[in-house]
Amino acid sequence: MDKNILVETANKMMMRPKGILAMDESSPTIAKRLASINVDNNEDNRRRYRELIVTAPNLSDYISGAILFEETFDQKMNDGTLFRDYLESIGILPGIKVDKGAKDLSCHPNEKITEGLDGLRDRLAAYYENGAKFCKWRAVITIANDIPSDACIESNMNALARYASLCQENNLVPIVEPEVLINGTHSIDECDKVTRKSLSSLFSHLKMFNVYLPGTVLKPSMVISGQENDSRASYEEVASKTIACLKDFVPNDTAGIAFLSGGQTDLEAESHLNIMNQSSDLPWRVTFSYARAIQAAALAAWQGKDENLESSQRILIERAQRCSNSSVGKLK
């Protein structure tokens, strides 16, 4: 582990007024996205869509790093340039999702455990050799009757910590993503309770595995009401409870926080982040690592048609700019 390399990379990832673009949709997820605009899910269409994103004019003004799916990390653009090389050439750090997805947790109905630790050390060494600067691993926690269980939280946070330590062994900054899912009818207070328990466990495991926090980025979900809750919390309450929770559990020397949007609308994701960043006493950089909240409107405008490329890219940049403004509390 070279702490200087980790800190340098993490600082670039957290650079104001930028955020991290999540474009690491798994094969099933990108299939759903393309199906929503009646475009066939094949390698060429996936390349076309992701090339639309990375070649959007002035993207690097708002984006510091891009999380890629393994296919995209090794994929070439239409002119033969590797996506990862193109991103670095325009000043965007290339990163890669390294987990193998959330699978059923044995003997725990409706709960998941993220897999992918087998062979990870060798994969990480190869990713670093090929230009990756950071990685991402996502754990999912569901709120429902009698869940999440201790087994679900502890096993997922243990896996996140083991992944993070292996990343840093290879001079890759780990993004640790403990997502408390927005799906459900739960209240904001129930979400707060589960998020606190998850973060407490996570940082306990990170300490256990000697993970270097100044070279680690946290990608949490916000403390928010369930999507199906009839009386959802206000923007101000979400921002207030989220920051209070993070201050109680996230050490000040953590490199930074980059929120996932996690099923929020574009307006919700940018508004919550904007209010948080209007506080003057945050001990860490607080920014975004959004996928849908930046991409969704651009995807709908594209419709898989080359003639819609420029208009789609304009929408993408507008969304990235609004999220960038939110990350410094200056959204208008």
What are the structural domains, with CATH classification, of the chain?
3-326 (3.20.20.70)
Q: How far is CA 244 from CA 43, 206, 237, 239, 290, in A?
A: 43, 21, 10, 9, 22
Name the amino acid, one letter, at 66.
A
pLDDT surpasses 90 at 241: yes
Average pLDDT over residues 143-158: 97
Q: What are phi and psi of 207, to 5 degrees?
A: -65, -40
Active site annotation includes 177: yes
Average pLDDT over residues 214-233: 95
Average pLDDT over residues 150-161: 98
pLDDT surpasses 90 at 279: no
The residue from 112, 133, 136, 219 that is catalytic is 219
The residue from 25, 51, 111, 177 that is catalytic is 177
Active site annotation includes 219: yes
Integer distance in angstroms from the first to the last C-alpha of the chain?
Answer: 42
pLDDT surpasses 80 at 280: no
Q: Give percent above pLDDT 70 in the chain.
A: 100
**Average pLDDT value for the chain:** 97
Per-residue pLDDT at 49:
96
| Residues 319 and 293 sit within 8 Å (Cβ to Cβ) | yes
pTM of the full predicted structure? Answer: 0.96
Q: How far apart are CA 229 and CA 282, in angstroms?
A: 29
Per-residue pLDDT at 8:
98
| Distance of alpha carbon 125 from the chain centroid | 22
**Torsion-angle region of residue 119: left (phi > 0), alpha (psi -120 to 50) or beta?**
left
Per-residue pLDDT at 243:
97
Average pLDDT over residues 15-32: 94
Average pLDDT over residues 80-104: 97
Closest CA to 144 of 104, 187, 107: 187
